[in-house]
Structure formats: C-alpha cells, structure tokens
Amino acid sequence: MRTVHTLKELRTMLRGYRLKGKRVALVPTMGNLHEGHISLVRRASETADIVVTSIFVNPMQFGAFEDLDNYPRTLQEDQEALERAGSTLVFTPANSEIYPDGLARHTRVIVPEVSEGHCGASRPGHFEGVATVVTMLLNMVQPDVAVFGEKDFQQLAVIRKLTRDLMMPVEIVGAPTIRENDGLAKSSRNGYLSKPERAIAPVVYQTLQDAAEKIRQGRTDFSMIEWEASQALIYAGLRPDYFNIANSLTLKPATEEDAEVTLLVAAFLGATRLIDNLSLSR
C-alpha cells in the first residue's frame, strides 16, 4: 500500500494501473476509521483491482458550530487498518491541495430536492460541502466504482443523484450499515459517548425497528408513527432532531402509495448527534 498527498502523485500512480487494464474503486472517508469504513474497503476490493481510499477532513461540510477542529485525526492507525483491509492507495491531501484559493472562492456543487429536509434541514450547507468534495474526488480519481455506506442514507442519495445528473461514468455502490452487537450503528462519533450514554445509544436502532414493525403491520398514519418514535427517544433520554418516514428514492415524506420507504432518525445523546436509518418494502 502506498500513501500519496498530491493530485500529481495520485494521477501518476493511477495512470500506471490503468495502462495495465486495472479496474479502480474509490472509498472516500474523513479518517478516524472504524469497522464500518473497513467494510467499505473490503466491498470495494470485491469489485475492483485497485482500491483508492481518501482521507480528508472536509471543512466545507462542517457548520459554524460543529466539531471540525476536534474531529479526530488518526492517520497512522488508519493506514495500518487500510493496509490490512487491502487498500492499494491512500490519498491524504492537505486543505491547500483541495481548496487552493480558499473555501470562499471555491466552486460549489448543489444537489436540489434530495439534499433538503432531514440532515439537510438541520445542517445548512452540509450536503453542498459533501457534494462538492465528492465531485472533486470522483474527478481526481476517475474510478470505475465508488463505495459509500448506507448509514448516511441521505448522503448516498445525494451522491447517486449528482452522478446521475452530471452523467459521471461511475457506478455508485451502497454498502450495508455495520452495527455493534447491541444494534448501534458504528460511527466515528460513538467515541464521544460517555459510558452511561453508550448504554442508552442502542435505543436509536430499537426505535427504528419498532416503527418499522408498525408499518409492516399495516399502519399508514406515518405522522403519528413519527411522533410516537420521537416520544420514545425522549423517554430514553435523547433529544430528537428528527424522525422521518420518507420515500426511499426521493426522500420526500412517505405516502400510502409508496412501496419502498426509509425511516431516518437523528438524535442528540448529550452533545453527540447520532444518525441511523432503516428501509423496508410495504
């Protein structure tokens, strides 16, 4: 495995692989890797000969009061984990490599509709930052396939739409959420939880399961199910940001006619914001 830091290095390495007819996959990350990230790398290695994993803490997707400065940087540990997982190249650019003229003067990518609501409503500008940096990484690596986790369901929907709308020749693969034994979705933010908070956190996934079961039993009063789920989270000691039932494709509020729906939740446990989702067919 080799680590490169500049676009010139990256393209030089990739040119050699492509001349040999190798298929290339991209796994974008912000580092501080856990088993969920590693599962993406393993999935990518199943679909391509060369796996490029990017590690870049993207300042454009952090809000004014979010934890950019405190976001964990664990490059050495990440490199060791990626080598064990089979990553071929690690791309770790500096901010100046990605935004040479600064954030304020940089072109931005906006993905309408699917970026709205859910996390898009709670974190203004977040998906603009995600869409911009992912577009840049796809242009820099020019992969045949790119792998993203389904845990960030809205993010995956944004990326699928932007690659479709901009006619990018890349296959977007969604990989299943990796969970702890008690159901909590693996996340870099889980490390912020205190021991008592960690004991409470699995209620997020349990609440999703309970709400999904109500839908499977035939209930279509989605607004009431959302309210009941939010109350369950509050009762457990969390502060809900949202609990929404949406059309799985458009992410607009689900209706009785929707055959595929996704339940999306974000809730604060102490200062830590947890997100999760669950999709089902009706």
> For residues 164 and 167, what is the distance between their CA atoms, to the nearest angstrom?
5
- Whether the CB-CB separation of 135 and 166 falls below 8 Å is answered with yes
> For residues 273 and 126, what is the distance between their CA atoms, to the nearest angstrom?
14
> For residues 264 and 276, what is the distance between their CA atoms, to the nearest angstrom?
6
- Whether the CB-CB separation of 126 and 134 falls below 8 Å is answered with no
CA distances from 73 to 37, 76, 129, 188, 262 (A): 15, 9, 19, 11, 32
- Whether the CB-CB separation of 143 and 25 falls below 8 Å is answered with yes
- With a CB cutoff of 8 Å and minimum separation 6, the contacts of 125 are 60, 61, 63
Q: Say how many CA atoms lie within 13 Å of 209 toward its Cβ.
A: 8
Catalytic residue among 5, 34, 37, 106: 37
Q: In what order do the strands lie in the sheet with 239-247?
A: 239-247, 260-269, 272-281
In the residue annotation, 106 being an active-site residue is answered as: no
Residues 231/235/237/243 CA torsion (nearest 10 deg): -20
H helices present in 118-221, as ranges? 119-122, 126-141, 153-165, 195-200, 203-216
Q: Active-site residue numbers?
A: 37
